[in-house]
Amino acid sequence: MTFTDLGLHQNILRAVDSLGFSTPSEIQEKAIPIISSGTQDFVGLAQTGTGKTAAFGLPLVQQTDFTLQDTQGLVICPTRELCMQITKDLMAFARYQSHPNIVPVYGGASIDDQIRRLKKGAHIVVATPGRLLDLIRRRVIRLNTVNRVVLDEADEMLNMGFKEDIDTILEQTPEEKRVWLFSATMPKEVRRIAKNYMNDPAEIIVGKQNSAADNIEHRYYMMREKDRYYALKRILDFYPDIFGLIFCRTRRETGMISEKLEKEGYNVVALHGDLSQSQRDAAMKKFRERTVTILVATDVAARGIDVDGITHVIHYNLPDEPEYYTHRSGRTARAGKSGISVALINTREINKIRQIEKLIQTKIEYTPIPEAEEIGEKRMYAMMDRVVKTPVDEEAIERYWPVIYNKLKHLPAEEIVLKFISTELNALLEYYKNAGNLNAKQEKPVNREEGKRRNGKSSGKINGPTITFFINLGDKQHMNKGAMVRLVCSGSGISGKQVGKIDIHPEYSLFEVDQPAAPHILPAIETGTYEGKNFRIKISKEKNGRKNKERRR
């Protein structure tokens, strides 16, 4: 099937051609013939990314008489971003019409500018509900000549609490009009709108209803609540080429996570309701242009984001409403590309995963959180690939070459390579040197009484005398018994069998070391860093949780 087969006029076909669309997408193929007939209302169940804007936009432009001054088309959508995107698309579809005036109106921008543009006579108005209502009340917009109404992302608009606004707006439109409604899901409230304001609509479903796009791979990672942020970091580190969108549940969480990531050197920007409109625009611009590669956002702020090429959608926390999962995940795998949706959950949230699986009719696969070694390996190879692919501008380097050569000439080639790798990766390798396993699912219960260690390296029982050490890292710093054994052994060179009982407290920990091994500890690891935090070890005054009785006696 071609666009010509869909009954579109010549100047619309020329516009489609200049956009480079060669074949219609499924929703376009199914919707355009019905919508173009101009005789029937229409409900399309389709996700963003399916080409639904052109599915309603091409017939809308075709059915608009641009020689008139009247407002004939009204598109209502949930967000400013979507509003601007739709307007841009409609302008492209109307490229070969004479003097089309398509005006976006949305909150958070100067109402006076919008009023000025409307007064010139808008053929089509693309609006968010709140601002539109405001303009109607100020009598700047009159809807009595509107004959086509599009409700885009109807479920999102209802989720955002625009139910009454939409009712009020629709009541202002003439009885004789066509309504075309698009929604990713069909909750009761959307059905109600279809029933109240539409006349026996044709209904088309593209893909599975309520389902996420097929080219999205769904994964979940399970960790203890306190490890959530650290698990996120590992996932980001594991995908060095990520172009990702991280969803948080609240503005506060969004701000906190983006700030923490930024401090730790990640290329991130935040998008949430506490930011001014110009800050939000700046954030989106950076992300769109890929000056930053990670956008941390709330559900509300991220609505309508239409950025191609997002590789990962990360649910830092799952949404309260399972249906939001589909909207979030739909930001990846757009325009035929594939993408990964990653949910981080704690041990009590598995039911949420099951609920979402039911809704999207797709399995969300359990995936272990990458371990330190895997991350190091992946980063190393990614860096090597980057080095191999980097073009060399010999001319530009030529003038510096004598100095560079002088500095490096005494080093063998192999060592130069090692040093370049280390420049890039030392900080990462240092951070992960003693990192533990964050997977909550694989964790075996620790038998405290017997002092058994998870990784079996340490028996916990030492028959001879022991020395107890204090370290200022505890549960709050994500220290655990396995990580402690690794830190002590790899730092000092003693074996796991020489480490005895370990007590992890909230802010500090105590560990026993076999007396003959004890002199190796302080010279080697009196200070150091663990997961980016400085630590200090000293001989303890306590004997494994009990005040040292010998001393008190």
DSSP state of 213: P
**Interface with ligand AMP (CB under 6 A), residue from 68, 335, 408, 418:** 335
Provide the 3-class DSSP secondary structure of residue 208: coil
Residue nearer to ligand AMP on the CB measure, 11 or 472? 11
- Using CB under 6 A as the binding rule, whether residue 36 contacts ligand AMP is answered as no
Of 32 and 502, CB closest to ligand AMP: 32
Exactly one of 21, 66, 96, 366 binds ligand AMP (CB under 6 A); which one? 21
C-alpha pair distances (Å), 200 with each of 72, 174, 206, 245, 441:
22, 17, 19, 39, 51
Of 32 and 231, CB closest to ligand AMP = 32
H-run or E-run covering 218 = strand 216-222
**Which string of DSSP letters, residue by residue, matches 21-88?**
--S--HHHHHHHHHHHHSSS-EEEE--TTSSHHHHHHHHHHHT--TTS-S--EEEE-S-HHHHHHHHH
Region binding ligand AMP by CB under 6 A among candidate stretches 18-26, 70-78, 387-395, 426-434: 18-26
Is the Cβ of residue 20 or residue 445 nearer to ligand AMP in the bound state? 20
d(CA 374, CA 542): 38
Cα–Cα distance measured from residue 481 to residue 503, given in angstroms and rounded to the nearest whole number: 8
Name which position in 50, 362, 439, 540 contacts ligand AMP (CB under 6 A).
50
Task: Tell me the β-bridge partners of 223.
Answer: 439
The DSSP secondary structure of 310-370, one letter per residue, reads --EEEESS--SSHHHHHHHHTTSS-TT--EEEEEEE-TT-HHHHHHHHHHHTSPPEE-PPP
Is residue 466 a contact residue for ligand AMP (CB under 6 A)?
no
Among 21-29, 68-76, 95-103, 487-495, the segment contacting ligand AMP (CB under 6 A): 21-29
CB closer to ligand AMP, 85 vs 434: 85
Does 59 engage in binding with ligand AMP (CB under 6 A)? Answer: no
Is residue 54 within the footprint of ligand AMP (CB under 6 A)? yes
Supply the minimum distance, in Å, between the C-beta of residue 296 and ligand AMP: 23
Rounded to whole angstroms, how far apart are CA atoms 183 and 19?
24
DSSP bridge pairs for 171: none
Q: Which stretch binds ligand AMP (CB under 6 A): 42-50, 116-124, 176-184, 313-321?
A: 42-50
Q: Rule CB under 6 A: say whether 49 interacts with ligand AMP.
A: yes
Tokens matching residue 301:
């702020």
- Binding residues with ligand AMP: total (CB under 6 A): 14
Helix (H) or strand (E) holding 547: strand 546-547
The rounded distance, in Å, linking the Cα atoms of 196 and 11 is 35
Binding pattern to ligand AMP, positions 239-278, x when CB under 6 A? ----------------------------------------
* Nearer Cβ to ligand AMP (119/290): 290
Residues at the contact surface with ligand AMP, assessed by CB under 6 A:
21, 24-25, 28, 48-54, 306, 334-335
